[in-house]
Amino acid sequence: MLMLGKIAHIGIDLCIVSGFLAGVHRSTGLTPNLNTIENEQLKYYVTKYLDIGESMFDFSVGYFNSSTHFSRNNRSDK
Directed axis angle between helix 40-66 and helix 2-28, to 10°?
A: 80
| pLDDT score for 78 | 56
Radius of gyration of the chain (CA): 16
Distance between CA atoms of 13 and 17, rounded to whole angstroms? 6
| pLDDT score for 72 | 83
Distance between CA atoms of 46 and 18, rounded to whole angstroms? 10
**pLDDT per residue rounded down to tens, the chain (78 residues):** 789 999 999 999 999 999 999 999 999 999 999 999 999 999 999 999 999 999 999 999 999 999 999 888 877 665
| pLDDT score for 74 | 77
Distance between CA atoms of 28 and 78, rounded to whole angstroms? 13
Helices vs strands, H then E, count in the chain = 2, 0
